[in-house]
Amino acid sequence: MLCRSNCGVCCTAISISSPIPGMPAGKPAGVRCPHLSEVNLCKLFGQPQRPRVCSSFEPMPDVCGASREEAFVLITRLEEATKPASLG
C-alpha cells in the first residue's frame, strides 16, 4: 500500500519518544508534527533528522483503513494500546 495523498495522520496520531528538530522531548500523540507540510508531506523525508519511528512506518490497510478518518481512528487505537502504563 502507498501512503494516501494529503493524509498525514501518522504524523499527528502517533507519539514520537525520541527528540525531533524543534521538539527535544519528542512529540505527544494527537499533536501535529511541526515538520508536516501544509499538504501533509514530511519535510524531514530522506533527512538524517527524521525519527526512526517515522522512517520505519509502512502504510498497511489494517492500519490506514479506507480513508483518512478511518486511519486516524485505527492509528489512535494502536497508540493507546501500545502506550506504556506509566504514561497513563
| Model pLDDT for residues 18-43, shown as the tens digit of each residue | 999 999 999 999 999 999 999 999 99
Q: What is the pLDDT of residue 83?
A: 78
pTM value?
0.82
Structural domains in the chain (count): 1
CA 74 to chain centre: 12
The answer to whether position 70 is within a domain reads yes
The pLDDT value given to residue 21:
93
Burial string for 30-51 (b: 16+ CB within 10 Å, else e) reads eeebebbeeebebebeeeeebb
In the block, cell 527535544 appears at 24
pLDDT band at 87 (very low <50, low <70, confident <90, very high): low
Q: Is residue 1 part of a domain?
A: no
Answer yes or no: is 2 within a domain: no
5 lies in some domain: no
Is residue 82 very low, low, confident or very high in pLDDT (cuts 50, 70, 90)? confident
Range of the domain at 27: 10-83
d(CA 45, CA 82): 25
pLDDT at 28: 94
